[in-house]
A and B are shown apart, each in its own frame.
Chain A
Amino acid sequence: MNEGLRSELSKQGIFTTTLGDLYNWGRKNSVWPLQFGLACCAIEMIATTMARYDLARFGAEVFRPSPRQADLMIVAGTVTKKMAPQVVRLYNQMPEPKYVIAMGACAISGGPFKQGYNVLKGIDRFIPVDVHIPGCPPRPEALIHAFMTLQKKIETQQLTGVNRPRHLDAEAPSEFPVPKFGGHDLEPPNNPAVWHAPKLVREP
């Protein structure tokens, strides 16, 4: 249907859409985050849901304590090596379609605690991340921005074709392997299927 016809119909009070748009419209406006705080960022995450910032305006006020009922994992805070297997396990327990926001410098890369022996240098070493939101901690506005970015991503996902979302692709993995505690470090220290060390490019 071309745009002209659609706008002509809407003038007559007839609303037309595609099934894919309707499906994504519903999905993006009812994202249920997992009630899952790790560190400092969790306080700002709570502040985002409270009176002044009110994440409920975006249909995401229902924080679920159980991963089985959640669509979105907000990794809010430092992921330590002791906690990393639990984070991956929680992610595995979430049903598809599921999304991840890495909130704050620590969740992205280890942040200020990057030099710590027990700090995981970014949760994207084990699970795929959809939106990174920097800050230490990010302000509530920044989290809302991350959330709107995620909504845009959901909105533009095609339901068929090569780039269809993971939950519509029977081949795509839904669970990721859980690392084990080793004698000196996690074993393995990252999941090569998800993460590669970035190539170091230096100005000559």
Chain B
Amino acid sequence: MVMETLEQIKARIENAISGAKPEIIPNESPSAQRSLLLDPAHAVEVAKFLRDDSQLRLDYCSNVTGVDWLDLIIKEKVKVKKVVEGVEKEVEEPVERKRPGYLEAVYHLYSMALKHGPLIIRLRTENRADKNHVPSLTPVWRGAEFQEREIYDLYGIIFDGHPDLRRILMWEGFADHPMRKDYVEPDDYEYEPTPHDEVLEKTKQHHSPEPKP
């Protein structure tokens, strides 16, 4: 069975849930799997709608992924009107725009009843430090339970409404979120010469190379 297009689903969500503002995230790659960005305030309502709607019936939440997006400086060229040597001209000027980093949870939804999918929905936190809350969708799809725990463990997103939000892979008392892009792993390399650049660099930090006598 073929699922409705993303535009149709977006329009129906907006009709069904007032205030929900889903946004289509494009995907330029050959897979063409576009996704819907949900606002956290209405995420649970939208999720319930997606699950229970008779045409969608996305009853199966296959995959939940955490993604860490760092602060990004986007360099753009903006056309600016400027007075150059007494004449007003349109000049291109480079402008640096800072996109603040955020953490993201991506859900891949399928329908086991109607055998279609995937619909991809995304939730974003406000930033990577203190405002790292998104609503948990485990009450809607229980299959997300362990995966959301894993994201909490490895990325540090706090899922509000999760029944059992504890660390899952690392031990209790572990301080970091190791899958974040800026995580620094403990320096416990065994110091041996290897051709890998990164390992060799780490090796050099510990040992000054001793030539053989």
- Which residues does A use to contact B, with CB under 8 Å? 82, 109-110, 114-115, 117-118, 121-122, 181-185, 189-190, 197-204
Give CA–CA (A50, B209) in the complex, Å. Answer: 47
Least CB distance from B168 to A in Å reads: 11
Cβ of B193 < 8 Å from any Cβ of A? Answer: yes
Q: Which of A117, A181, A198 contacts B192 (CB 8 A)?
A: A198
Q: Which partner residue on chain A sits nearest B204 by CB separation?
A: A200
Q: Given A82-B170, A117-B186, A189-B186, A202 and B178 touching (CB < 8 A)? A: no
Which residues of the other chain, B, contact A117 by a CB distance below 8 angstroms?
A: 178, 183, 185-186
Give CA–CA (A121, B188) in the complex, Å. Answer: 8
Q: A-facing mask of B182-213, CB < 8 A → 1, else 0? A: 01011011111100000100010011011110
Give CA–CA (A114, B188) in the complex, Å. Answer: 10
Are B178's CB and A198's CB within 8 A?
no
Which residues of the other chain, B, contact A190 by a CB distance below 8 angstroms?
A: 188
Given contacts A181-B172, A182-B173, A185-B188, 18 further A-B pairs with CB under 8 A are A82-B169, A114-B190, A117-B185, A117-B186, A118-B178, A121-B190, A181-B173, A181-B174, A183-B173, A184-B175, A184-B176, A189-B188, A197-B191, A197-B206, A198-B191, A200-B191, A200-B210, A202-B212
Which residues of the other chain, B, contact A118 by a CB distance below 8 angstroms?
A: 169-170, 178
Are A203's CB and B211's CB within 8 A?
yes
Least CB distance from A196 to B in Å reads: 11
Contacts A/B (CB < 8 Å), 9 sampled: A118-B178, A181-B171, A183-B174, A197-B191, A198-B192, A200-B193, A200-B209, A200-B210, A202-B193
- Which residues does B use to contact A, with CB under 8 Å? 169-176, 178, 183, 185-186, 188-193, 199, 203, 206-207, 209-212
Which residues of the other chain, A, contact B192 by a CB distance below 8 angstroms?
A: 198, 200
Give CA–CA (A162, B175) in the complex, Å. Answer: 46
Least CB distance from A189 to B in Å reads: 5
Q: Which partner residue on chain B sits nearest A189 by CB separation?
A: B188
Which residues of the other chain, A, contact B169 by a CB distance below 8 angstroms?
A: 82, 118
Which residues of the other chain, B, contact A182 by a CB distance below 8 angstroms?
A: 173
Which residues of the other chain, B, contact A202 by a CB distance below 8 angstroms?
A: 193, 209-212
Are A200's CB and B173's CB within 8 A?
no
Q: Which partner residue on chain B sits nearest A195 by CB separation?
A: B190
Least CB distance from A126 to B in Å reads: 12
Least CB distance from A120 to B in Å reads: 8
Q: Which of B175, B185, B188, B211 contacts A183 (CB 8 A)?
A: B175
Which residues of the other chain, A, contact B206 by a CB distance below 8 angstroms?
A: 197, 200
Q: Which partner residue on chain B sits nearest A118 by CB separation?
A: B170
Give CA–CA (A183, B176) in the complex, Å. Answer: 8
Which residues of the other chain, B, contact A114 by a CB distance below 8 angstroms?
A: 189-190
Q: Which of A181, A197, A203 contacts B212 (CB 8 A)?
A: A203
Give CA–CA (A121, B191) in the complex, Å. Answer: 11
Give CA–CA (A198, B207) in the complex, Å. Answer: 10
Give CA–CA (A82, B190) in the complex, Å. Answer: 19
Which residues of the other chain, A, contact B211 by a CB distance below 8 angstroms?
A: 202-204
Give CA–CA (A110, B189) in the complex, Å. Answer: 10
Give CA–CA (A181, B189) in the complex, Å. Answer: 18
Least CB distance from A53 to B in Å reads: 31
Give CA–CA (A113, B203) in the complex, Å. Answer: 17
Are B174's CB and A200's CB within 8 A?
no
Q: Which of B170, B171, B189, B209 contacts A121 (CB 8 A)?
A: B189
Least CB distance from A83 to B in Å reads: 10
Highest count of chain A CB atoms <10 Å: which of B172, B188, B207, B209? B188
A-B interface, 10 closest residue pairs, ranked by CB to CB distance from nearest = A204-B211, A185-B186, A183-B175, A117-B185, A200-B207, A202-B209, A181-B171, A189-B188, A121-B190, A117-B178
